[in-house]
Amino acid sequence: MILTNKSIEREKRALQYEQLLADEHHQLALDRAMILDFVYLVAANKRRSGEYNNSRDDLRVKAGELLSKLNL
């Protein structure tokens, strides 16, 4: 098979696109993990004393940190 400059460039672009998709997929997986961690934190059961593990103010701060990490 004869490779022309055009076909070489096309293959390069295809590889770059695949790498871009892989990077985005990885970032989405990390974002999803952070969101799930926060949801589990918010949904935590009460302690035996009847109090929750995190106060509303603590959760607000953690939510703000999460949103800033996600660039939202």
Written as one letter, the residue type at 36 is L
Spatial separation of the C-alpha atoms in residues 7 and 3, rounded to whole Å = 6
Question: Could you list the pLDDT tens digit for every one of the 72 residues in the chain?
Answer: 677 888 889 999 999 999 999 999 999 999 999 999 989 888 877 777 877 777 888 888 889 999 998 887
Spatial separation of the C-alpha atoms in residues 20 and 36, rounded to whole Å = 24
Q: What is the pLDDT of residue 57?
A: 84
